[in-house]
Amino acid sequence: MPRNVALVADRISWEERELIRTAPDFGLTVEWVNDESLCLGHPDAPSVRDYDALLLRSRSYTRGGLIATLAEEAGVPVLNSAGAVHACENKAVLRTVLRTAGVPVPDFRLVLSRKDFAKSLDELELPLVLKPVFGGMGKRVTLIRHADTAQSVYDYVEDLGHAFEQACLVEPYLGGGTSVRCLVVGHELVGAAEFAGGGTDWRNNAALGNNSRAVAHDPDVLKIVEGVVGRLGPGIYGVDLFGTPDGYVVNEVNHAPGFRAVASATGADIPSAVARYVQELIT
């Protein structure tokens, strides 16, 4: 008898369609459940009680983390775990957690005020990247090349309405035109692709439609992936790396990664890897 899995998401994109299509090959029935319709909070969680597992694909870290927390309370297996989603949600927390575990991350400064921002400019060399602590898909990430424009850039941060939005990181610009997205399922690196910025956009992010190519499973990359999984627990992650003269560093870890570009570049059957992992989790 097929096991029932709720694919919890705010929309259906290519990744979700492929997961639903592939699921029956692994004895699973995957049903899309809108993440706005669960109304969790009751300890028995009636809206998810009929499912053997929840596969979180909400783009919002906040929604994903809250849903995972309440579903776990009700005893429903969730991918990814609430702890992993909450760690990935906050870039400062994630980097601290990984650095404490010995996983290399970029140098950074937490900026909560203009005073913090000025100190970060004194301590780190230009060019620098200013990015929100909470956010993804390359949104509001700003490259600061010149000191005489830096304070004007920060004006826009001060004009944001909430401290939640104003919390930022400042870090050295390490992109150099490319980044590596590692698609992890369980403990395994399923595929890795290098993304290069296109046109005049300096950012390299799969969500921006940049060019990509497959890259070999470098031993250093495998070691970093092992460290990330060892700290966050096995799950389904997009681990984004930047290369530096001293080796790779983890830029961020995505809790609900898009994987179409990695699948296209590498030929990896990522939907089958995810379905197999879910099957193993609940049987």
pLDDT at 199 over 70: no
DSSP-based three-state secondary structure for 147: helix
Buried b / exposed e along 122-131 (16+ C-beta atoms within 10 A): eebeeebbbb
How many residues are given for the chain? 283
pLDDT at 261 over 60: yes
Q: What's the mean pLDDT in 224-242?
A: 96
Residue 79's pLDDT is 95
Q: What's the mean pLDDT in 209-221?
A: 76
103-128 pLDDT, tens digit each: 999 999 999 999 999 999 999 999 99
| Closest by CA position to 144, among listed 134, 157, 135, 133 | 157
pLDDT at 78 over 60: yes
pLDDT at 100 over 80: yes
Residue 195's pLDDT is 81
Q: What's the mean pLDDT in 4-22?
A: 97
Q: Which two tokens stand for residue 140?
A: 């509001």
Half-sphere exposure (CA, 13 Å, Cβ side) for 60? 13
Residue 145's pLDDT is 93
What is the rounded distance in angstroms from the CA atom of residue 8 to the CA atom of residue 37?
10
Q: What's the mean pLDDT in 205-227?
A: 77
DSSP-based three-state secondary structure for 190: strand
Residue 65's pLDDT is 94
Q: Grade residue 165 by pLDDT with cuts at 50, 70 and 90.
A: confident
CA distances from 92 to 89, 98, 169, 185 (A): 9, 10, 7, 24
Q: Which of 1 and 275 is assigned the larger pLDDT? A: 275
Contact 168, 154 (CB under 8 A): no
What is the rounded distance in angstroms from the CA atom of residue 133 to the CA atom of residue 269?
32
Q: Grade residue 207 by pLDDT with cuts at 50, 70 and 90.
A: low
Percent of the chain with pLDDT over 70: 92
Q: Grade residue 164 by pLDDT with cuts at 50, 70 and 90.
A: confident
Residue 175's pLDDT is 63
Percent of the chain with pLDDT over 90: 76
pLDDT at 193 over 90: yes
Residue 31's pLDDT is 96
Residue 163's pLDDT is 73
Q: Grade residue 139 by pLDDT with cuts at 50, 70 and 90.
A: confident
